[in-house]
Structure 1
Amino acid sequence: MTDLTLLDAAGTLTAVPLAEAPAFRRPQGPLQSRVAYAAAHVVPKPFADNTPGQPAEIDWDATLAFRHHVWSWGLGVADAMDTAQRNMGLDAAATRELITRSAAEAQSVGGKLVVGVNTDHVEAERISIDEVIDAYKTQLHHAEDAGAGAVLMASRHLARAATSADDYLRVYREVLDAAGAPVVLHWLGTAFDPQLAGYFGSDDTDAAAGTLLQIIDEHPDRVQGVKMSLLDADAEIAVRERLPVSARMFTGDDFHYVGLIAGDGADGSGRGHSDALLGAFAALAPNASAAIQALDAGDAAEYHRVLGPTEALSRQVFAAPTFYYKTGVAFLSWLNGHQAAFQMIGGLHAARSLPHLSRIVELANASGALERPELAAARWHALLTLNGVDVTAPTAAPAVEEVLA
């Protein structure tokens, strides 16, 4: 049996047994009980100048193959979102090309796809409310022309320009009026982007939620749902309970998604549940699919058995500073063989320490998130060796129950 060598913050090495790959099966038809999107990342060319401030050079074959991997498990893809490094290396030209290419691939296989619509192609830091509206419409029309559904992402430009909730109401009213199909709204918390403080007109969550709900109530035929990414389960449930029947709650809570997706029913029936639009699911597509298949079969216990252990892994990937979670998503993609190199545009692969990555390896191994365990072990040990760590002399390690605690 192969062992995994792990490294802690003190430089101490331990070893754990390498778990076998979980025996998950791809679904034979569409997932039924929940709508789930994985917010996919982008893969750069390994030989490109992937340094801070340089334009993104994307390995399109690997990037699009990853989307097909997600679709093959019955999940939808949420593309050109923050997981794809928007505002952290993915420039406007690359974003447009990503949307165009992903939409064509989705249409070729009948895959579900939504894409981020923002104002970030505008280089000026501060613009007027009218210019925010025009910028949103420009990206919205591009997404719709490509054949993709839209997620109206939270805009840094709007957060800077708005002076009250009325400004948010006006912007969303005019942009939604221009939409050709229902969209998903996006509420991204400051853990993910500190520049979005006070979004929807207030730092008070209840007050901001009131503005969001007013936007939805005014446009029942233009809003299919809202993605909440506040890492606050109680706040999400409070908004979910007030949504009209026409709108879904897509959880973006990478800390509490297991319970939120399961729902309020004590029997696991999912009354008052959230659907999902998660960066975590980009790293956990097989696990997420198997768990939702269990819900489809009415087996809540199996759902929790499969997905429950992954939440500790997700919390590590999304640990503070949370906006560096993309590094963990790309790292797991590399471990699982979906990209040739552990590299990211903008040099972001250097944003997490070796001990942080080691904990990801440990939790992925314990939660069934290593799709090809032998490959993952070989790649991880090679990375340790490259960084001067002798992987041949670890000590004994704790049991799986302690790992997940």
Structure 2
Amino acid sequence: MIDLRLLREDPDRVRASQRARGEDVALVDALLSADERRRSSGVRFDELRSEQKSLGKLIPKATPEERAELLQKAEQLKTDVKAAEAAQNEADDETKRLVLQLGNLVHPDVPVGGEEDFVVLETHGTIRDFGAEGFEPKDHLELGEALGAIDVERGAKVSGSRFYYLTGVGALLELALVNAAIAQATEAGFTPMLTPALVRPRAMEGTGFLGQAAENVYHLEKDDYYLVGTSEVPLAAYHMDEILDADKLPLRYAGFSPCFRREAGTYGKDTRGIFRVHQFDKVEMFSYVAPEDAENEHKRLLEWEKQWLTGLELPFQVIDVASGDLGSSASRKYDCEAWIPTQGKYRELTSASNCDGFQARRLSVRMRDGKKVQPLATLNGTLCAVPRTIVAILENHQLADGSVRVPEVLRPYLGGREVLEPIAK
């Protein structure tokens, strides 16, 4: 959540942020009003409680005549205190309800607009000219089926559309990617983590996934658990309700977990193959840093993602995501998009988001610097979303005979194998 002091001091900045996100600006004024009621009712309650305590000290010392009048006044004060407490609680609840609906403040350098209004910051690698090589590229599903690596038909039979099996070299390729990603993250100073896939409501709400993203979250109503769509959720909640020492920051974790997404609103989009699926595995970087270090840490996360994609020898571009496509928690987000030959365009493989103190306030994660205790900043960055990375590897590294060249960075994790070859039918 945002800092309410900032809301009171600079409401126009918050309105501008809401406007840039394409969200309800009236929410800002409703929150300002609720916050004012919360503070004024709190003052009223404290005044009445102070008067009540003072009166309680006078009654034992009063004469019989005075005591009767004081007792009558005490009864009225008791009623007033109860009413003031109820008003305070109501205003406090309303403030909390509204502030949880408000997105993070958009960074001033973020391009304003919707999904297509991003700005390309960098491009890396060379897009292959398959025509010059004398063959038409196959898509990842055709390649994967020929390699005995992907089985979507049986995935659909067992679980429905957008489910799949990775088989044979497909399973080995996932394990190679995960091990290589964890190795890179560990070398960079991240602590490897295997995280829960089921979390309580507070963890999901605290990371901002029960707002506009709620339609894509799986909820187990009987047990009131949520299936995570990213290990960002359990990693952000790992230090929930804790105060961390500033001299121990940054804390960096690399989480590996299954991820589950309903993909609501994407009917008919990316239905072929494994690019957009309901369940997948992912390696996610997560950082806790001091607020003043957040922007530099954001750049570091992006550099680690670029290092990863460069190592996989994939052509990709880096974009500055537009304000209307940020998600509620991020103040700024960079995406790395790999070139997908059969689609003829770049598609998102990784994201790096700076959430500033937004998640930390919601989850009550703070830092102590001397005597000062304050919210810290959290950031997250995808290192390897497995299915999409497999898509990019198969299509970009395919050879004319249907085999696929293995990037050098993965060969040690595939027994030195240099090429994945189609299986005999």
Q: Fold-level match, TM-score > 0.5? A: no
| Structure 1 length-normalised TM | 0.23
Which of these two proteins has the greater Rg computed from alpha carbons? 2
TM-score when scaled to structure 2? 0.23
